[in-house]
Amino acid sequence: MTPLYWTQAIQELAACDKVMQQLIRQFEDATLTSRGCAFTTLARSIVGQQISVKAAESVWQKVIGAIPDMTPHTIAEAEQDLLRTCGLSARKIAYLQDLSRHFTEGSLNETSWTDRDDETIIKQLTEVKGIGRWTAEMFLIFHLQRPDVLPLDDIGLQRAMSLHYLDKQPIDKKTMLELAKPWQPWRSVATWYLWRSLDPLPVTY
């Protein structure tokens, strides 16, 4: 599902930033989409930590091949050896099982997120083992489709901003925040287009 704000966001970004205007024109047929399942989005984010998009997709396909009915209960009950044969490390298996526990015990409740601000949700999600700020931000962008998230620790975003705005020079978080000021309140959308400029496949979680 594409965010309701997408058309307004790309119009305003194109009007305020020439790089955005070019990227939006280049990828005009693509948009951010949500998979519609909170658990799946968070599980994919954990699987994708510290590996390439391609490697993460390969591991994920093996996981859902081994466990087609992907739910908190099926992951919690899965044999560790089965998950290991999919390419998951012992640490990521522990993270996925802790995530499953939070869902099955009800400490992560989707109905409560609608009225909460981004930072409150980040704080709640980072109480789960293996979910840091970056993973929580991916969840905000891809599942909750919050419009104004700027994941400063994301390597892809750092690379893209350096490439398009600083002629490939190193970039720090302060500079990223300054460059992103004109994008507000659509920093998630700008981030998505910058990711898209680096990868032939749209980023999804």
Catalytic positions, please?
154
DSSP 8-state symbol, 174: H
Residues 87 and 46: beta-carbon distance below 8 Å:
no
DSSP 8-state symbol, 20: H
How far CA 34 is from CA of 28, 105, 113, 172, in Å, comes to 18, 24, 16, 29
- Show the DSSP H helices in the chain as ranges: 6-16, 18-26, 38-47, 53-66, 72-77, 80-85, 90-104, 118-125, 133-142, 155-165, 173-180, 187-198
